[in-house]
Amino acid sequence: MAVHKNIRARNKLESMKAELARELRQRSGVHVEQAADPMDQILSQIDREYRLAYLQRSAERYRAINRALGRIEEGNYSICLECEEKISPKRLQAIPWAIYCVSCQERLERLREEMGEAWNLDAAA
């Protein structure tokens, strides 16, 4: 049964990976064209920065998906890296690249916030 679930997870992750790869190859809208109007130039720059941030998040998710696919191959896909307990199927269905169970994710996020760092441990959740 677990093997069957991992096959479904692998297929879902592979599909997401292919879609992200297409997005990352396009990189449309990253180049800023010179505009005569200063306001148009500013708006174009803001749009470019938004697109670059989106590409950054997509690249982070792509790497997380690759790590999840590696964990499937290693046989530890649904195991939390922190407590080594099983990650709930609902969590993996929602975030198939998750590496922490909900409890550990929340605890680690609180710790990061206390340290003054905003950081999403599941990268682009």
- Extents of the domains making up the chain: 2-114
Q: What is the pLDDT of residues 19-44, one digit of tens each?
A: 999 888 876 555 556 667 888 888 88
Using DSSP, state whether 79 is helix, strand or coil.
strand
**What pLDDT, on the 0 to 100 scale, is given for residue 50?**
86
The CATH number given to 2-114 is: 1.20.120.910
In this structure, what token pair is assigned to residue 13? 């992750």
Q: Phi and psi (nearest 5°) for 66?
A: -60, -40
pTM higher than 0.85 for the full model? no
Residue type (1 letter), 28? S
